[in-house]
Structure 1
């Protein structure tokens, strides 16, 4: 008799992170032992996922909480790679996992996506902080205020772990960069672009000058898209092979970082790329006005988010064997090629 397959439910398959994680699961050495199900809105993408990639697909939205609950209940492992701030969706997934634990008696595994936005302050680009978080420092992680960005969802997940019906792990990516590549992205299933840097690029292109929040002095970590996707796989493998040595709950926070940058460095690189492409004559960024923050980022608060500090070290992920390869220097080099692609896309829509 063949061994039972590991049933995996993944959210966010058509997104940037979720697509990169799903792609790595499909390329995993043990992929033949996985039974992967995803939830997507788009029926056309669902067909491609099923026919070309052999993934089971349920068409629906994260507002259909009964579907989320049922899909989570039927999974050994849940990769939640969609909206980090959707508390109802997270609670539905946890309800499903609780039902599974009560019915089957096993301990289902959750790998949830949060973000280092949880560590931010209100610097507005005016200063750098000396506070650096380590994901191995549990007391420091516990000290993050409950009002912090993403924190309400993370706390609900930690509570579920403490209640003993799920083994919860939370990955907190930082500034993710790079145009994602590979079969899922080439097939048009998953979004190849991040959010933070592309928004700064698009805003800068529109105003014909690189933009910045304040003086750009605040500092964030950064991580390459396929490096952070590999963190999910390293964590998953560690959970499957060495569960007692793999931290969960309060010991289950895993930062995704491989270096850090100031916001000025990003905006200056945007400015230099614009000069090289003949789009402006001065590489030096100028501050976004309040109106521009709203125009380019949706709200003034979200705009100012690009002037916050968020400093951390991915010590826990490295302790279980994660070895990110790409650095802050690679991040800065990625800005010009991303600008070229985004500019073409904007022109094709115009």
Structure 2
């Protein structure tokens, strides 16, 4: 496919990032992506992507490649400030040269988490057309420190750059690259190890879900809107949600896991149970309650107004048909999610 003349630098060609890359290539973008691994670089090159060798800590590499591209998408993590600061430095460099940049940063809906610990379903629903509710969240909220650094930069840059935040909820579904998400997958791996499907807290709190394929189309919808909008668009509020219109409690998610593992003969009783805190190290450690025990309700009104519509609606079908076959190929003992899954202190 002929390129459309737009160069994209993507940080984090993993679960979300590879799916975004597929959408970008389908639409004629010229893509470079940063990776640490030689084998990943080879795969990127074979798909038509220019690999950039480096890690999130390679600030000069991030800044240089940001400065060389019209569009930057950060999908590696919501919680790495140095790489974000390097992106901002590259955007500043471009702005000083009279060049405009589009930057889409991946945050996350843990930012909205309350302190329910699963005891109830909250009535608080955040809309991405009501930014004041999000701006009122405490600075200590998960991901918020990084988001605030980005918002400070966009306020300073004004119309010289379009900088926006995508906040995904519970992401599910496997990609053609056999990559998996975090929250439900960690709960499933826990269930396989401990022989029961469990939930943290009381299990009553709810999140909205989104299939990774629908999420990647959300990024493309946002990007193309930003490309075709006037400079003043940069002054609009930065938040975009992406959810499929459904919600699940954490005990309902655990029940799906239990049912499907029972059907495979992996556990004998599918009934979900409360997980004791003593076993949280096999989940998300100190961040377990933030990641899988609180309410985080949101509505993606802005994307829908731009014409985006979700196409995938069954978390159960995706778990059974896409994710579980990959999980069952795991080797070695599972010891919880190894990376920080959130940030902040409350």
TM-score, normalised to structure 1, is 0.89
Q: Identify unmatched segments of 5+ residues in structure 1.
A: 186-190
Task: Answer whether contact 1:168 1:249 (CA < 8 A) is retained.
Answer: no
Task: Answer whether contact 2:9 2:73 (CA < 8 A) is retained.
Answer: yes
CA pair 106-331 structure 1, distance change in 2 beyond 3 A: same
Q: Deviations over 1:10-58 (max 9, x none)?
A: 1111x10001001110111xx1xx33211110112212222x2222111
1:234 is the counterpart of 2:221: yes
CA pair 248-119 structure 1, distance change in 2 beyond 3 A: farther
* Offset of residue 242 of structure 1: 2.8
TM-score, normalised to structure 2, is 0.90
Task: Tell me the residue number matched to 1:192.
Answer: 179
Work out the CA distance in 2 between the residues paired with 1:212 and 1:233: 34
- Paired residue secondary structure (2:111): helix
1:39 is the counterpart of 2:23: no
Task: Answer whether contact 1:10 1:79 (CA < 8 A) is retained.
Answer: yes
1:98 is the counterpart of 2:102: no
Task: Answer whether contact 1:129 1:218 (CA < 8 A) is retained.
Answer: yes
Work out the CA distance in 2 between the residues paired with 1:206 and 1:156: 39
Structure 1 or 2: larger helix share? 1
- Paired residue secondary structure (2:328): helix
Work out the CA distance in 2 between the residues paired with 1:143 and 1:250: 17
Task: Tell me the residue number matched to 1:255.
Answer: 241
CA RMSD of aligned residues (A): 2.0
Task: Tell me the residue number matched to 2:295.
Answer: 309
CA pair 123-278 structure 1, distance change in 2 beyond 3 A: same
Q: How many residues get paired?
A: 329
Task: Answer whether contact 1:293 1:304 (CA < 8 A) is retained.
Answer: no
Task: Answer whether contact 2:201 2:289 (CA < 8 A) is retained.
Answer: no
1:24 is the counterpart of 2:23: yes
Work out the CA distance in 2 between the residues paired with 1:229 and 1:74: 23
Work out the CA distance in 1 between the residues paired with 2:55 and 2:298: 33
Task: Tell me the residue number matched to 1:55.
Answer: 49
* Offset of residue 141 of structure 1: 2.1
- Paired residue secondary structure (1:308): coil
CA pair 323-336 structure 1, distance change in 2 beyond 3 A: same
Task: Tell me the residue number matched to 1:188.
Answer: none
Work out the CA distance in 2 between the residues paired with 1:279 and 1:65: 45
Task: Tell me the residue number matched to 1:345.
Answer: 330
Task: Answer whether contact 1:8 1:79 (CA < 8 A) is retained.
Answer: yes
Task: Tell me the residue number matched to 2:343.
Answer: none
* Offset of residue 202 of structure 1: 0.3
Q: Identify unmatched segments of 5+ residues in structure 2.
A: 335-346
Q: Which aligned runs of 4 or more in structure 1 are off by greater than 6 angstroms? A: none
Work out the CA distance in 2 between the residues paired with 1:155 and 1:46: 32
1:273 is the counterpart of 2:260: yes
Work out the CA distance in 1 between the residues paired with 2:4 and 2:241: 32
Task: Answer whether contact 1:297 1:303 (CA < 8 A) is retained.
Answer: no
